[in-house]
Structure 1
Amino acid sequence: MSSVLERFLRYVQIDTQSDPNSATFPSTARQKDLSLLLVQELREIGIADAHLDEHGYVYATIPSNTDQHVPVVCFCSHVDTSPDVTGAGVKPIVHYNWDGTDIVLPDDPSQVLRIIELHDLDQQIGNDIVTASGTTLLGADNKAGVAEIMAAAEYLQAHPEIVHGAVKILFTPDEEVGRGTEHVDLQKLGADFGYTVDGEAVGTLEDETFSADGVRITIHGVSTHPGYALGKLENALKIAGEILAGLPKELSPEATTGKEGFIHPVQVEGIQEKAVIQFIIRDFTTAGLHEKENLLQNIMQEVLARYPHSTAEFTVQEQYRNMKEILDQHPKVVEYALKGMKRAGLDPIQRSIRGGTDGSRLSFMGLPCPNIFAGEHAFHSRLEWVSVQDMEKAVEVIVGICEEVANLVLND
């Protein structure tokens, strides 16, 4: 399973950053640069049906090597990287046999990985740590998962003695901008259930996510010449500012943890006549989402009451829902993953994720799909890092899940 590092170092040097403001799909054509390479490499290891479709999805099948009916399992990762930090010109660095001292990134020495500041880094002493050079993100989110699925596919192809059913591979674009499953063809994929490989610490299995909505407040103020504005001007930008100032601090991302949700403004734009505020609302229950949306709407209405000639529109768009609602109906899907981790010598950690994955949407589309670890840490930042040993364990787990799915069926 040694190919995972070589693959990862190759993939992160390909810029695949997605763009939330693009109207195309994928949102950036450069994502296909990696996807086309993945298709080529899949074919080189003998996976004949690997292809890139018109929407930028990679589909591939490792055929079953048993005559018995075994459920078809899918492994999924996304090729795009976050638009929050540049992904152009990534220079990956492997810090072999790391001794626990601060890792100073050479292209920007102000970027330093310190044990006391970065979660889980203290578990990596003696391991090989991969970082970027300080001016870009690394791209472990989610190229670690891509490399791990590719390495596992290569291993299964090279070891026909491992009994498994059909294994589907799916690489998606645009996950980071919330559109990763927009054009996925589940009928063509043909899987019974799946796993996104897009998690953090080694041994973690995430079977619960936030439920998520987007809210857009469009404010229509009253514009007039500022020199003659007395009693007339109702500035939409100031109305927006008052709405933002009225948000409860205890319901902000920086003040919440665990199962607590939040109201988070992500974009403001406008002029004095019209302003738009974009929010994301997060909670682990749909009822909790609605409570926060009602609170936000009440804040908006209270502010508007002070501006009698202005109006506002409050629009809610569903984004995704807590995958646990679906996974609780398919307990074997989680069981396979837990057994696959134990087969790899890990003590599984089952937990919730304060975010979402492609698996959230896929679960509600009909493909139950929890999230397993990829080893990525400090994602969406220039301090992003991953452990080579964690990536190798993820490869073992992917192979182990394939074995467990076959074993639990064949031994029934």
Structure 2
Amino acid sequence: MIEKKHIIDRFTSYVTIDTESDPNSNTTPSTEKQWNLANKLVEELKQIGLEDVTIDENAYIMATLPSNVSYPVPVIGFISHFDTSPDFTGANVKPQIIENYDGKDIVLNEEQNIILSPDYFEDLLMYKGQTLITTDGTTLLGADDKAGITEIVSAMEYLINNPEIKHGKIRVGFTPDEEIGRGAHKFDVEKFGAEWAYTMDGSQVGELEYENFNAAGAVVTIKGKIVHPGYAKGKMINSMYIATDYINSLPRLETPEHTEGREGFFHLHTIDGSVDETKLQYIIRDHNKEHFEARKEMMKELANDINEQFQMEAVSVKIKDQYFNMREKIEPVMHIVSIAKEAMEQLGFKPLIKPIRGGTDGSQLSFMGLPCPNIFAGGHNFHGRYEYVPVESIIKATEVIVKIAELTAKDLTNYKSGEE
């Protein structure tokens, strides 16, 4: 059995170390403080008995659990990231342990009247009777993705302590800067040496994902003409009004707050404007590659239409692809999803196979030659003060890792049938 107190102690030791990443930094890792947890993890991996524990100049950590069988078994990997999101502070995290949750409001911070309520966050009701770890309302928690790290380290420790469980060679990888989209940028796939891997970075119990958005970022620049407002008639062109026209000309219901599942969107996340010039920053997302390309084309065509109307180069659009849907890289090796699905079913809970409405290191890694679906890590309400994780979910995810290792050491013929 995986001991609950051991899990809590390990997890809280991670989340109390500030590892917030910084999108404005050009270094890797993007913040010096990420080294604090990275170096701790290196020592812990050695302490529990893993081999070939390495950390490179960019803080990418790798380690090996050797095979304990005499026959060939595919080398598999498990990967998580140790940075936390810059969306909300991760400094001075004070985790609160809620034993035997009763299904009622949780007072995170009495002084500031910050309440974690099932009236708003209905998922809480799934965890009545369980042990929750929450914030104190002033920081995020960091379950994204320190829960994933906890699960991987704990699973490796469990396999070492229970050698009767047969498994092949397992590689472990921990990365910086995933939250700012750089987690896989400097990941050495060849050095990692796995045939496939799983990121432990999802949310509720059962999540198993091998589809994600195709993603791009767009900067729309609108040029106006500044003239003294007292003498502006027929001369001034206010770029902010043109920007408003541009914004309103895109499909209003194809935004994050109106979409779900595989529905794509345009998301305007930043406006910086004056009469003379306005910049709009968008992210473009769609699971369907054709729809994704159509979205990018729509933004360009809209700019052309406005330029034609004003008879000048009023609007320019620069679009940069960010990542792509890993489904095309996973489908040829769907047995790796089937193994994870079987692991969950053998442990007695239902796999929730669904697309990720976001990005994942697994997407980039899949296109770098390491097919990498995503498995739940257990947390909810990431990147903010209402983040929480049930300890039982961390334990279940740890058990899934162990079970995947066990299943991979068995005959894979049944999983691979039908892939050709």
Partner residue of 1:259? 262
SS in 1 for 2:52: coil
CA drift at 1:327: 1.1
Q: How many residues get paired?
A: 412
Query: Counterparts of 1:32 and 1:408 in 2: how far apart (Å)?
Result: 40
SS of residue in 2 equivalent to 1:50: strand
- State the 1:310 CA deviation: 4.0
Query: 1:197-216, aligned counterparts within 5 Å?
Result: 197-216=200-219
5 Å matches for 1:74-85? 74-85=77-88
Residue 191 of structure 1 pairs with residue 194 of structure 2: yes
1:233-244 equivalence runs, <5 A: 233-244=236-247
2:179 equivalent among 156, 176, 185: 176
1:329 partner SS: helix
Comparing 260-269 with 70-79, greater Cα deviation is found at: 260-269
Q: 1:368-407, aligned counterparts within 5 Å?
A: 368-407=371-410
- The worse-fitting range, judged by mean Cα deviation, of 235-244 and 289-298 is 235-244
Residue in structure 2 matching 1:218, options 213, 221, 232: 221
1:145 maps to 148
CA distance in 1, matches of 2:223, 2:111: 44
Q: Offset at 1:381? A: 1.7
SS at match of 2:402: helix
Report the residue type matching 1:164 in the other structure.
Answer: H
Q: How does 1:220-369 map to 2 (within 5 A)?
A: 220-369=223-372
- Asked if the contact 1:68–1:410 (Cα under 8 Å) also holds between the matched residues in 2, the reply is no
Change (3 A) 1:410 1:321: closer
Closer, same or farther: CA 387–378 of 1 in aligned 2, 3 Å? same
The answer for the alignment partner of 1:13 in structure 2 is: 16
**Pick aligned residue for 2:157 from 146, 154, 158:** 154
What secondary structure, in the 3-state scheme, does the structure 1 residue paired with 2:410 have? helix
Contact 2:84–2:142 (CA under 8 A) maintained in structure 1: yes
Aligned mate of 1:117, from 104, 117, 120: 120
Structure 1 residue identity aligned to 2:53: A
* Equivalent residue letter for 1:149: I
* Structure 2 unaligned spans of 5+: 416-420
- Residue range with higher mean Cα deviation, 2-11 or 343-352: 343-352
Q: Deviations over 1:242-297 (max 9, x none)?
A: 32233322111101112211000122225443332221111111111112222222
Paired residue secondary structure (1:250)? coil
AA aligned opposite 1:368: P
- Per-residue deviation, 1:402: 0.3
Distance 2:205 2:342 in 1: 15
Secondary structure in structure 1 of the residue aligned to 2:301 = helix
SS at match of 1:213: strand
Contact 2:306 2:314 in 1 (8 A): no
Per-residue displacement from partner, 1:288-326 (whole Å, max 9, x unpaired)?
111222222233333334443443332221111112111
TM-score, with normalisation over the residues of structure 1? 0.95
CA distance in 1, matches of 2:306, 2:257: 24
**Structure 1 residue 228, shift from structure 2 partner:** 4.4
SS at match of 1:168: strand
**Any unmatched runs of 5+ in structure 1?**
none
Residue by residue over 1:172-208, the C-alpha shift from the partner in whole angstroms, topping out at 9 and shown as x without a partner, is: 1111111111111000000100001011111221121
- Taking structure 1 as reference, are residues 360 and 411 closer, same or farther at Cα in structure 2, changes over 3 Å only? closer
**Higher mean Cα deviation, 308-317 or 13-22?**
308-317
Asked whether the 8 Å contact 1:219–1:275 carries over to 2, the reply is yes
C-alpha distance in structure 1 between counterparts of 2:249 and 2:91, whole Å: 38
Give the aligned CA root-mean-square deviation in angstroms: 1.9
1:44: Cα distance to partner?
A: 0.8
Once the two structures are TM-superposed, the CA of residue 218 in structure 1 deviates from its matched residue by 2.5
| Normalised TM-score (structure 2) | 0.93
Distance in 2 between residues matched to 1:371 and 1:119, nearest whole Å: 24
